[in-house]
C-alpha cells in the first residue's frame, strides 16, 4: 500500500500569508496563464525551461455546463542567492468552473475570450533549512537558537519580503482581471483597453 507524506515532512516552515482571488465574469484564460507564468519568471521563482516548470497537477474536463480546469504550481526560490538556509515557496492552486468560449466586442472589435468562474488560491511559505545543511554541520544542536535569536532580524526581513511578493502577485492577477487593487501602484499593465466614450 502506498504511503502519502506531506511535502513539508521533517521541514520547519512558516505560512506567511494565504489568499484567494475569485472572479465570475469574462476573462482571457490563455493570457491569465501567461501573466502568472511571466510574473514567476520575472521574480526568479521559475525559469523559461518547460521541463523544469513545477506544475504538479493539471486536469481539464468538459461537461454540459462548460469546461472545468484545475492546475497546481509549486514554484520556489532562494531569496539570498547562494545562501540556502531560507526558501520562499508559493503554492498556487487555480480552479476554473463553467468556462465557455465567447466573443467579446470591445470598441467595435471582436476578441476571443472566456466566460466562467476563476479562483486562484495562493499560500506563501517561508522554509527554514530546506536542504538540511545545519543538520549535517556542527551547528546541529544550536539550530533553533540560531534561527530564533541570531538570525531573527534576517527572518523578519525575509517574512516581510515574501509577504510583499505574494501580494504583488495577487495585485498582478487583480489588475489583469479588473478587480479592485489596494497597492499604490499597479503591478502589471492592464490587458483590456479603457472604455472609449460612445
Domain that holds residue 75: 12-177
Residue 96 lies in a domain: yes
Asked if residue 39 belongs to a domain, the reply is yes
Q: Which residue has the higher pLDDT, 147 or 83?
A: 83
Identify the CATH number of the domain in which residue 99 sits.
3.40.198
Residue owning grid cell 504511503: 3
Residue 142 lies in a domain: yes
Can you tell me the mean pLDDT for 15-37?
A: 93
Q: Which residues are within 8 A (CB) of 2 and not within 5 positions of it... i.e. 6 or more apart? A: none
Residue-wise pLDDT for 105-134, tens only, equals 878 888 888 999 999 999 999 998 888 777
Instruction: Tell me, yes or no, whether 90 lies in a domain.
Output: yes
Q: Is residue 122 within 8 Å of 113, Cβ to Cβ? A: no
Of 39, 134, 25, the closest CA to residue 77 belongs to 39
Q: Is the residue at 186 inside a domain?
A: no
Q: Say if residue 194's pLDDT is above 60.
A: no
Q: What domain count does the chain have?
A: 1
Amino acid at each position: 500500500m502506498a504511503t502519502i507524506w506531506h511535502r513539508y515532512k521533517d521541514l520547519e516552515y512558516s505560512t506567511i500569508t494565504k489568499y484567494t482571488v475569485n472572479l465570475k465574469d469574462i476573462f482571457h484564460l490563455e493570457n491569465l496563464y501567461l501573466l502568472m507564468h511571466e510574473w514567476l519568471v520575472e521574480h526568479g521563482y521559475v525559469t523559461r525551461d518547460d521541463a523544469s516548470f513545477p506544475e504538479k497537477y493539471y486536469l481539464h474536463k468538459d461537461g454540459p455546463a462548460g469546461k472545468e480546469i484545475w492546475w497546481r504550481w509549486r514554484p520556489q526560490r532562494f531569496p539570498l542567492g547562494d545562501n540556502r538556509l531560507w526558501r520562499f515557496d508559493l503554492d498556487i492552486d487555480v480552479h476554473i468552473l463553467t468556462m465557455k468560449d465567447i466573443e467579446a466586442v470591445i470598441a467595435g472589435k471582436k476578441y476571443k475570450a472566456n466566460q466562467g468562474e476563476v479562483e486562484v488560491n495562493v499560500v506563501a511559505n517561508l522554509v527554514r533549512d530546506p536542504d538540511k545543511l545545519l543538520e549535517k554541520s556542527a551547528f546541529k544542536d544550536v539550530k533553533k537558537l540560531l534561527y530564533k535569536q541570531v538570525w531573527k532580524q534576517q527572518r523578519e526581513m525575509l517574512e516581510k519580503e515574501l509577504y510583499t511578493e505574494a501580494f504583488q502577485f495577487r495585485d498582478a492577477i487583480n489588475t489583469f482581471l479588473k478587480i479592485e487593487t489596494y497597492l499604490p501602484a499597479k503591478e502589471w499593465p492592464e490587458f483590456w483597453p479603457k472604455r472609449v466614450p460612445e
